[in-house]
Amino acid sequence: MKVLIVGGVAGGATAAARIRRLDEQAEIIVFERSGYVSYANCGLPYYIGGIIEEQEELTLQTPESFFSRFRIVMKVRHEVTAVNPEKRTVSVRNLNSGEEFEETYDKLLLSPGAKPTLPRIPGTGIEKAFTLRTVEDTFRIREYIEKNHPKSAVLAGGGFISLELAENLKDMGMDVTIVQRPKQLMKPFDADMASFIHGEMRRCGVKLALGHTVEGFEERDGGVDVLLKDEEPLHADIVVLAIGVTPDTRLAKEAGLALGVRGSILVNERMETSAADIYAVGDAVQVQHYVTGEDSLISLAGPANKQGRIAADNICGGDSRYPGSLGSSIIKVFHMTAASTGINEVAAKRAGIDADKVILSPMSHAGYYPGGKVMTMKVVFEKGTYRLLGAQIVGYEGVDKRIDVMAAAIHAGMDAVRLKDLDLAYAPPYSSAKDPVNMAGFMIENISKGILKQFYVEDVKELPRDNSVTLLDVRTEFEYARGHIEGFKNIPVDDLRERIGEITPGKPVYVICQSGLRSYIAARILAGNGFDSYNFSGGFRFYDAVMHEKYLIEEAYPCGMERSGRQG
């Protein structure tokens, strides 16, 4: 059996090695357009910042190591220019010599990945405007920085690459601004949870221009003007476009293969395309979202690796199936960690799912053990069925552990209430006897039993201030004095029983505290005395973070952002 693989990196390289492990006699050839067949794509920003010091550390395998270990022929700097399903051949160009030839196959695997999304605006090709997707891109940016010592950078886009690069450039002493059209960073997160990411970026000196549309780039005064719609330009020494990625599916389209969303390659759960004996994996393929069942594009290394293994199994006569993608992801944001899995609240509503949520602020480990830090968790579930839909966590240590537990629970089909039953490891330096995941389950169980009723950030402005309801803040007098929501009366929770007479009977009571715990206790006290009460989900800490961020976004240029001297 002769197997050709177009593209290396995650999916293609994984498939090649798996095929060899399953079939010692197969002839396997991999064509890779770049000069690197297997590299750590997710590590590229950290090489630019010097965290990863040597170029060789980015390279997971070389053509020589692949051949030595697996007897797989890796042909780098070879571009497949056409796929010919009828002839069962591919057309190849050697980018070094210019030679062109055809190669036959019995089985063909397409792993072309994705390419940076380049908007159709003027100036994207200027020397000081970069994209970051390949090892070559990385070397180009680092070489330019080392040679020219730029003092400022504008990053267009607010996803993973942009945030990671912003941190690395800032740590190198550069003035960094992120500009993008949406009013929040990191699409996997709801806007309320993204507020914590925004806050960390600003605290660490990164300027955010959210809600601004880039219309082009112009070289000026030795740098670049970033032209914004209806705003003055931003000026920087370099620009990096990190708006997103687009499936690189030209070969599939020209070969007549069926395409899916955004021109991606349509595959079934065996990773088979519409053409016999042609498979496809990675960022270029359409997948089914594990939670919603919707057709999706999820460009992550984990799914690509799994798909490569599944395709390899089936190429070798097996019957492996890809169940879909959860989109589990995690990112380092300076000192913080932000992670998500499944779908967020916005995606749930867009999919027509009637969703509810709990927001909590547990400690990363036992409070009496030194060094614990607060994390913020948002768990989204379906009303009525309590089907677990997704989770978002922002914090410090322990975020990675909890998001992986949530991902496993969603994959296992657990309902949200059962989070309370998970038997999770506990020792004071690592967790609490009631793990944050368990705590989320306890809260959702209370909702299912009618013990807990909630109200949210988006409800506060609609609450009447006409004495038809009671608005109650149960924090200490000191906490209340430092900041509170207008119209909320202060009665500390420990005084509530003695001062219950100050609350008018027969009116609903909306209760808030700092994190949601004391207000829940207050709500139970009130319920025991005949009051109908609602607990604020997330507490004043959450409310303040969200509302403060909204205020900053409404400002035209937050954080003292540098503007160009140009008009218009």
- 326: nearest Cα among 294, 353, 349: 294
Write out the DSSP string of 74-126. EEETEEEEEEETTTTEEEEEETTT--EEEEE-SEEEE---EEE---S-TTTTS
C-alpha span between 515 and 525 (Å, rounded): 17
Helix extents (H) in 212-300: 250-254
Q: Does residue 513 have an active-site annotation?
A: no
* Catalytic-role residue among 42, 316, 513, 559: 42
What is the three-class DSSP state of 221? Answer: coil
Residue 246, phi then psi, degrees to nearest 5: -125, 135
- Give the residue among 197, 537, 516 at the shortest CA–CA distance from 356: 537
The H-or-E segment that residue 130 falls in is strand 129-131
CA distance 552 to 139: 35
- Angstrom distance (rounded) from CA 156 to CA 210: 10
Measuring CA to CA, which residue among 340, 328, 277 is closest to residue 90? 277
CB 41 within 8 A of CB 9: yes
Q: Which 8-state DSSP code applies to residue 282? A: G
For residues 391 and 404, the answer to whether their CB atoms sit within 8 Å is no
The dihedral formed by the CA atoms of 421, 426, 430 and 436, expressed in degrees to the nearest 10: 20
What residues are annotated to the active site? 42
